[in-house]
A and B are shown apart, each in its own frame.
Chain A
Amino acid sequence: MTAQWQIVWFTAWASALSTLAILPFGVGLAWVLARYEWPGKSLVETIVTLPLVMPPVATGLILLTVLGRRGPIGRVFYQWWNVDIAFTWRAVLIALGVMSFPLLVRSARVAFEQVNPRFEQIARTLGAREWRVFFSISAPLAARGIIGGVILAFARALGEFGATIMVAGNIPGRTATLSLSTYEAVQLGDNSAAFGLLGISVALAFGAVWASEWFLRKSRDKRA
């Protein structure tokens, strides 16, 4: 496999896996935010939104501080299991997940808020437990918004740059993603490599958006 294809494969794989990893947490949190009120809720909302508004490099620095060998979490992993997080593929996954989390939560939350709570209430009067209400009523009725959020999160992960380079570096064959490699190629004056990667980025983005549109149209037709 050429180096270029390794980069494409790694980026697509890392983006997909990080999106998959944040899916249950993001959707669960979105549902809780849409349906419940509690003291301190706005603090949670603010923290979740932070990666969206902070410079990605700043988020990356926070992650590096926490996940580095001397950081509170990184140290535990290193001392107990001899596992490094920073500057490995694990750091790439975490950076992508953290950066795309707010997009997933926001889309899914709006989707849940648009589901009439009366559907859930009536399901409860029919004897349904909370998990069944969620999986049979709330989630299917919010599915389009959740899928939209998943696509947004995946797309955000595909193009992530700032946080990834801080916490994972740009190590060829290990943590180099499409964005990082494109930047590096331009820096080195390797235009053919840069434009090659650019073409792949465009194709990937095009494919993702096209597939999602197709999927949404199909689910709409099925529902109608």
Chain B
Amino acid sequence: MNLQLKNIVLSLADFALEIDVVLTGQATAIFGHSGAGKTSLLELIAGLRRPKSAVIALDDQLFNDTSRGVSLRPRDRQIGYVPQDLVLFPHFTARKNILYGAKPNTSSGLAFDFEHVVKILELESLLGRSIAELSGGEKRRVALARALVSKPKLLLLDEPLSNLDEPLKARILPYLARIREEFRVPMLYVTHDEREGVGWCEEAFEMSRGKIVQRAPKTAS
């Protein structure tokens, strides 16, 4: 992946997001305390916020260029955004949630087939349930599946393991690793817990008060 985040300025309540970086890892982790601006950065990439200035591009597709007045609509960005609060549609079953962004099948997208995604994330038995009937870990897997079935070119994961107890974390983590291997979709992984992503992300950054301050050393686990 080549995700350019250049000349980014976005005013937040207490400080401004100021970022100038190019992310190249297939899986990139960004750490930072809560309130560091991580979620705002993800929303900016997904097109849900309007920056004061920014050039954002994924590979050869330009998302934002404020100097030229370019701002691609969220629906045209092909980004799978899994927010921290998941935002599953409460009036749909798990199946309808997952299928919401489904695209017509093309040979290149077979891996993102509904059946395949459901199998990889082991959701077969949950499809008929309403969202209220799912546990925390199940909801996360449904939200991941919903993002994957939309055939994203980039997956944005906001604290995918937060508020989960240790055994549940240990159960979700392999799914993330599986997504990475099986779908080969670039991931941007945001977390407040430095231990979480380092092991399996190729690239790691630290964020503090809206700035990317340090490129954490790559650590193997």
Is A125 a contact partner of B75 (Cβ separation < 8 A)? yes
Question: Do A121 and B91 touch across chains, with their CB atoms under 8 A apart?
Answer: no
Q: Are A141 and B101 in contact (CB under 8 A)?
A: no
Interface 9-residue window, one of A36-44, A103-111, A126-134, A194-202: A126-134
CB distance from B157 to the nearest CB of A (A): 13
If the complex has contacts A119-B89, A121-B48, are A129 and B83 also in contact, measured as CB distance less than 8 A?
A: no
Interface band, chain B: 20 to 34
Residue A172, interface by CB 8 Å: no
Return the contact of B47 from the options A119, A125, A136, A137 (Cβ within 8 A): A125
Residue B64 lies at the interface, judged by CB distance under 8 Å to chain A:
no
Interface size on A, residues (CB 8 A): 18
Look across to chain A and name the residue whose beta carbon is closest to the beta carbon of B43: A121
Residues of A within 8 A of B48 (CB): 121, 124-125
Within the complex, which residue of A121, A128, A223 is in contact with B101, where a contact is CB–CB below 8 Å?
A: A128
Contact with A along B144-156 (1 / 0, CB 8 A): 0011001000000
Beyond A121-B48, A121-B74, A122-B81, is A128–B100 a contact (Cβ under 8 Å)? yes
CA gap between A119 and B75 in the complex, in Å: 14
Which residues on the A side are within 8 Å of B198 (C-beta)?
A: none
Q: For the complex, is B46 an interface residue (Cβ under 8 Å from A)?
A: yes
Majority SS at the chain A contact face:
helix
Q: How far is the CB of A77 from chain B (nearest CB, A)?
A: 42
Given known A-B contacts A125-B48, A126-B101, A128-B100, A141 and B75 have beta carbons under 8 A apart: no
Within 8 A of A (CB), among B70-124: 73-75, 77-81, 83, 85, 87, 89-91, 100-101, 103
Task: Find chain A residues with CB under 8 A from B103 CB.
Answer: 127
Instruction: List chain B residues, Cβ under 8 A from A224.
Output: 132
Q: In the bound complex, do residue A124 and residue B73 qualify as a contact, i.e. CB atoms below 8 Å apart?
A: yes
Asked whether A220 is an interface residue with its Cβ less than 8 Å from the other chain, the reply is: no
- Is the CB–CB distance between A125 and B91 below 8 Å? no
Q: How far is the CA of A123 from the CA of B83 in the complex (A)?
A: 12
- B75 A124 Cβ-Cβ under 8 A: yes
Is there a chain B Cβ closer than 8 Å to A218's Cβ?
no
B47 contact set on A, CB distance < 8 A: 124-125
Tell me how far the C-beta of A114 lies from the nearest C-beta in chain B, rounded to whole angstroms: 13
CB<8 Å pairs between A and B, sample of 18 = A118-B83, A119-B89, A121-B74, A121-B87, A122-B83, A122-B87, A124-B48, A124-B73, A125-B77, A125-B79, A125-B101, A126-B147, A127-B150, A128-B100, A128-B101, A136-B100, A141-B90, A223-B91
Query: Which residues of A line the B interface, CB within 8 A?
Result: 116, 118-119, 121-129, 136-137, 140-141, 223-224
B residues with CB within 8 A of A: 46-48, 73-75, 77-81, 83, 85, 87, 89-91, 100-101, 103, 132, 146-147, 150
Report, nearest first, the 7 A-B pairs whose CB atoms are least far apart.
A126-B101, A124-B74, A122-B87, A125-B81, A125-B74, A127-B75, A126-B150
